[in-house]
């Protein structure tokens, strides 16, 4: 199939060589030298904060490998980790670790496939790649899947805020009975939306969000540390007990699969990460950033799942936040505040994809749309997400449905199809290993969508 570019497509074997020795070849799309005139180094920052930020950017330069690792990790970590112990309960400890390792490998390979597709075509977003490779209407379908994924994730973030508030309200002395009820928690969620979330998503340019990536990852690291410490002080020494198991069976075991798919859903930011790389976009760097960041996420997920499950055993809640008493353990209170900050920041970053797709469908221009209309749009759409989030039965339902319905497309099917549809893709040109792995991705995506969705609905409403 032809591509929008007039340049001939490179042989797929040449693309495959990128993983082995990308340093010998500049990326296809970045062969032109940088002709910008550099007038000299910028003056040093005048303020203490500016100097601190300048030093930080030297340690974590934008577009570098470290920055890309933090961006991918920040996108992935967050809501899923609070439901990880319950997912270990439903699937069993051993099966959960197997799921995580498989999803780690699948995620890294899917990022590599997306890198191949971007290097060959030069297309810079899911929508444009859907249109360029799938034809007319492909942009709307691909964009709709990503839109649903981001909306579901945002709904899960709102629901997770309730999980953070509920233990504090239940344990605090003097809390009015109304605030301890479901309606009281929903009222506070609405206030957080009104005071924090809505003002944060109204600005058209959300450039400051990129500085939150490192802070967000640190918050999750601290949260995982508190899970381990609390477990070591309380339930870990009790060992296996009750209904704890290494493997489970039936719909319960399959249900956790969709949560694990969601836990690695970082493909939504692949395009900006790739094209903002310095000095040049590189499939090898994208793959290395995925290996490092997703590897760290896998370790954190296993630590949170194992230690959280051993801490509370059969009493584990869909959100582990509901199991803690943050008022009696100050370090857990700090963790709660940190996770709230992380969720708010993740909601804002997630909002960009939601806003951009709706603007794309209505053919609105972000720069020229009147601010009153843009503000009204933000209030209505984020308000709908708020209502869905405060009335959802449990946080794992949102993450499970997102992982099953859209994660199968984003993590498995789209990366495989994008690379296949770039042209000149066959067993002879890509080799047996890539050929088998790509078809495995397609089959795995279908399994994740069908079985994951059925198991999530069954466990929530029937089981």
> What is the DSSP annotation of 54-90?
HHHHHHS-TTSHHHHHHHHHHHHSSHHHHTHHHHHHH
* Euclidean distance between CA atoms 93 and 90, whole angstroms: 9
CB 120 within 8 A of CB 28: yes
| pLDDT value for 357 | 87
Phi-psi region of 431 (alpha: psi -120 to 50; beta: other; left: phi over 0): left
Cis peptide leading into 279, omega within 30 of 0?
yes
Number of neighbours of residue 297 by Cβ within 10 angstroms? 26
Could you tell me the pTM of the whole model? Answer: 0.79
What is the average per-residue pLDDT within 220-228?
91
Instruction: Point out the least confidently predicted range of 6-10, 41-45, 108-112.
Output: 6-10
What is the average per-residue pLDDT within 304-326?
87
Mean pLDDT rounded to a whole number for the chain: 79
Q: Is the pLDDT of residue 432 over 90?
A: yes
Band (158; pLDDT cuts 50, 70, 90): confident
- As a whole-number percent, the residues of the chain with pLDDT over 90 amount to 23
pLDDT in tens, 70-80: 878 877 777 78
Superfamily of domain 62-235+244-462: Amino acid/polyamine transporter I (1.20.1740.10)
* Euclidean distance between CA atoms 60 and 52, whole angstroms: 12
* Euclidean distance between CA atoms 397 and 255, whole angstroms: 10
The counts of H helices and E strands in the chain are 23, 0
What is the average per-residue pLDDT within 185-191?
91
Tell me the C-alpha to C-alpha distance, in Å, between residue 42 and each of 35, 224, 281: 18, 40, 24
Instruction: Point out the least confidently predicted range of 98-107, 126-135, 159-168.
Output: 159-168
Rg (CA), the chain: 23
pLDDT in tens, 321-367: 888 888 888 888 888 888 888 887 778 777 878 888 898 888 888 88
| pLDDT value for 227 | 92
């Amino acid at each position: 199939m032809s591509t929008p570019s007039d340049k001939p497509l490179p042989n797929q074997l040449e693309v495959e060589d990128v993983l082995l020795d990308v340093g010998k070849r500049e990326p296809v799309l970045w062969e032109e030298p940088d002709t910008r005139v550099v007038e000299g180094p910028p003056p040093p920052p005048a303020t203490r904060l500016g100097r601190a930020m300048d030093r930080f950017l030297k340690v974590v330069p934008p577009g570098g490998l470290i920055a890309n690792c933090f961006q991918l990790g920040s996108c992935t970590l967050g809501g899923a980790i609070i439901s990880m112990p319950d997912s270990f309960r439903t699937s069993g400890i051993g099966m959960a670790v197997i799921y995580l390792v498989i999803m780690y490998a699948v995620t890294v390979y899917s990022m590599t496939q997306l890198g191949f597709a971007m290097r060959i075509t030069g297309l810079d977003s899911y929508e444009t790649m859907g249109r360029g490779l799938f034809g007319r209407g492909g942009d709307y379908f691909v964009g709709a899947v990503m839109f649903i994924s981001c909306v579901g994730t945002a709904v899960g973030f709102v629901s997770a805020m309730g999980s953070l508030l509920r233990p504090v309200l239940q344990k605090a002395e003097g809390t009015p009975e109304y605030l301890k009820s479901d309606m009281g928690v929903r009222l506070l969620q609405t206030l957080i939306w009104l005071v924090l979330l809505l003002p944060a998503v109204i600005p058209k340019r959300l450039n400051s969000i990129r500085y939150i990536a490192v802070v967000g990852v640190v918050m999750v690291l601290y949260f995982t540390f508190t899970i381990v410490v609390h477990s070591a002080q309380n339930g870990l020494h009790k060992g296996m007990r009750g209904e704890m198991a290494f493997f489970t069976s039936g719909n319960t075991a399959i249900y956790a699969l969709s949560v694990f798919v969601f836990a690695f859903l970082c493909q939504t930011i692949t395009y900006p990460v790739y094209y903002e790389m310095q000095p040049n976009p590189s499939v090898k760097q994208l793959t290395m950033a995925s290996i490092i960041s997703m590897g760290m996420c896998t370790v954190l997920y296993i630590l949170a799942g194992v230690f959280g499950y051993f801490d509370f055993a059969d009493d584990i809640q869909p959100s582990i936040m509901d199991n803690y008493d943050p008022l009696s353990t100050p370090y857990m209170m700090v963790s709660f505040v940190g996770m709230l900050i992380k969720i708010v920041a993740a909601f804002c970053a997630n909002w960009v994809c939601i806003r951009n797709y709706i603007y794309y469908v209505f053919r609105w221009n972000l720069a020229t749309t009147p601010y009153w209309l843009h503000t009204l749009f933000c209030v209505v759409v984020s308000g709908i997400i708020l209502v869905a989030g405060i009335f959802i039965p449990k946080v794992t339902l949102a993450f499970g449905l997102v992982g099953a319905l859209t994660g199968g497309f984003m993590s498995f099917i789209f990366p495989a199809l994008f690379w296949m549809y770039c042209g000149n893709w066959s067993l002879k040109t890509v080799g047996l290993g890539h050929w088998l792995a790509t078809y495995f991705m397609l089959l795995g995506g279908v399994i994740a969508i069908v079985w994951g969705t059925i198991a999530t609905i069954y466990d929530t409403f029937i089981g």
